[in-house]
Each structure stands twice: as structure tokens, then as C-alpha cells.
Amino acid sequence: MHPLAERIQKRDMRALARAITLIENDDDDKLKLMSDIFSIKKQAHYIGITGSPGAGKSSLINQLLTYIRSLDLTVAVIAVDPTSPFSGGSLLGDRTRMNQHFMDPGIFIRSMATRGSLGGLARSTKDAIRACDAYGFDVILVETVGVGQSELDIMKVVDTTGLVLTPNSGDVLQIFKAGIMEIADLFIINKADLPGVGKLKATLEEYRMIVKPKGWQPPIVRTISTENKGLEELWEKLVEHKSYLYESKQGEKQRQQQLKLEVYDLIREELWREVSNTVEADEEKQKALHEEADPYQLARSWVQNWMKKGNDDG
């Protein structure tokens, strides 16, 4: 077994942090490490929290952490932030907004950059979640950058998705367009002390009547994170959804679909690495890159050459 995987299994938090760094840097040893980590997963509850910027996601998570810890459960937080165009690292650094939890050994907080991922979630996010699971955390919270078409990728990595909305913010129209409503397992009306809560709740109830999902009906929870209100109900609904998944065939179907998508992602990642390495090492192909070059033809020919090279080597 990989040394870091062994240390993670023994609940070494420094090893966990080091493993996530290797994952983010796409270290050559990553696949071996992740395979060993996968063998010791412990089935934590993966919860995704998404919503428009300004909806109060970080503040809500901050208070939710306190509540979960009061239940004597351990928590890991993966905060997925926008990528700096200069360093490639995360810009927001949600850890600074949760600094009251830094000294709690039952909480692990890590900011990760999207690194230009079209899905808003870096491929490494799933691996980081799995590493935290292997460590033995009871709950793993994933906070995404914001809402948009890209945020649909959250459903690929978590069990339960909570969508945070605020009254009179115009979020609902944007989210309807993006299709985010369809992946929400729970609607969270945060800042519920503001005017317009009733109208927002009615809109969400109308949406639920139109969709009429089979099985799970996404509940609507009101919270005021700044006053610690609604957190108990929020947690109860999150736990209810976890129970629903594991007691129904829907949970099994969801996990199978996530696994298939993950395998596809890994295949794409490996193929990209192999093709790019071949192209970078070929001076003739590098010379073909000029202003008038046809990118479609180049892509087709480079992949075909790579496939031919693989067949010849075989």
C-alpha cells in the first residue's frame, strides 16, 4: 500500500493534506495512491452546497459545522474556489472565513481551485473527497464556486445536493435557466429574515408540483445563518435524504451513474496525457502550429497518429 494511504488510514491529518496536494498537482504516483485510498473508503455522507455568490453559502456552512460537531460527528470541508490566472491556486480561500474551526481536530478544511475545469469542479475534487472518506470523516461538505451550467457537475461527486437561495435576489430565474433546480435534493432559503421569503417559497412549491419527482420530494428549509436559525431542520433533512438513498434503489442507481462518469473522466484524463506527451515530443507536430493551421484537422491527425503509434508498439 502507498505510504500516504497507510498514514491516512491511521488518521494522520498531515498525510491527508499531503495526499490532496499530490492529487492537485497530478503527481505521477496519483493513480496508485488513489487506488489504495479507494480500498479503504468508509462511506461518509457527501453533501454538496451550491448557490449564487452572495447567497451566504460559506456563512451557512460555518454555522452548520458548529452544529454537526455538537452531534460529535467529524467533518471535512472541500471549498472549491475560482482559479487564480497567475498561480493556478484558489482565489477566495474559504478557510479564512471558517477560521474559528482551525483548532478543532474534528474538522478539516481545504480550498481547491477549479483549475479551469468546465464543470466548476476540478477532477481532483472527487479524489480529495475520497481521501477524506478514507481518513474516516463522518461528513464531507463540498462548497462550489457559484451557480451556472457548470455547477451541474456537483451531482457527480456528492450524495446530497443543497441549493441555497435568498429572497428577492433574482436567483430563481437564473437557476431555472441553468437547470440547477433539477439536481437539488434540498432547497435552502437562507437569509430568511429578509422580505420576499413567502414569494420564493411559493415559487419553489409550484416548481415541485410541476416536476412531480418520483420518490424523493426536495424539502424547503428556511435558515438564518447569522442567527443560527434553521440549522437543526436543515441537518435533519440532509440525514433524511441519505437514509432515502440507502433504503431505495435510487441510491444504488445514483452511485452506479457516478462511478461510470468517474471512469469516463479518468479515461479522458489518461488519453489526454498520452496524446499530449506524444505531441509535445514531436518537433514536426510543433512546427504545424501556426496562425493558419486548421485545429480540427490537427486534432484528428494527432489522435490518429497516436493510435497508430500505439498499435505499432503493441
Best mean pLDDT range from 70-79, 160-169, 174-183, 245-254: 70-79
Q: How far apart are CA 248 and CA 239, in angstroms?
A: 14
* Least reliable range by pLDDT among 80-89, 219-228, 249-258: 80-89
Q: Which own/partner pairs from 252-260 qualify as long-range (CB within 8 Å, at least 24 positions apart)? A: 254/159, 258/155, 258/156, 258/157
List the one residue out of 66, 69, 97 whose CA is nearest residue 81: 97
Average pLDDT for 232-253: 91
- The DSSP bridge pattern shows strands 220-222 and 186-189 to be parallel
Q: What ranges make up the beta strands (E) of the chain?
A: 45-51, 75-81, 107-113, 139-143, 160-165, 186-189, 220-222
Which residue has better confidence, 99 or 190?
190
* In contact, 279 and 271? CB cutoff 8 Å: no
List the one residue out of 153, 71, 53 whose CA is nearest residue 107: 71
Q: What ranges make up the beta strands (E) of 95-189?
A: 107-113, 139-143, 160-165, 186-189
Could you give phi then psi for residue 192, rounded to 5 degrees?
A: -70, 5
Here the cell at position 124 is 481532483
What is the per-residue pLDDT for 298? 85
Give the CATH fold of the 43-247 domain: Rossmann fold (3.40.50)
Average pLDDT value for the chain: 82
Q: DSSP letter for 219, please.
A: -
What is the per-residue pLDDT for 17? 94
Within 10 angstroms of residue 97's Cβ, the number of other Cβ atoms is 15
Q: How far apart are CA 222 and CA 220, in angstroms?
A: 7
Report residue 148's pLDDT band, with 50, 70 and 90 as the boundaries.
Answer: low
Identify residue 294 by its one-letter amino acid code: D
Identify residue 161 by its one-letter amino acid code: T
Report residue 301's pLDDT band, with 50, 70 and 90 as the boundaries.
Answer: confident
pLDDT in tens, 156-171: 889 999 999 888 766 5
Could you give phi then psi for residue 48, rounded to 5 degrees?
A: -105, 135
Decide if pLDDT at 95 tops 50. Answer: no
pLDDT in tens, 173-182: 666 655 677 7
pLDDT in tens, 105-143: 899 999 887 654 444 355 788 899 999 999 999 999 998
Q: How far apart are CA 155 and CA 159, in angstroms?
A: 7
For the chain, the structural domain boundaries read: 1-40, 43-247, 262-313
Decide if pLDDT at 84 tops 80. Answer: no
Residues facing 186 on adjacent strands: 162
Identify residue 182 by its one-letter amino acid code: E
Here the cell at position 216 is 424523493
Dihedral sign from CA coordinates of 114, 119, 123, 125: positive
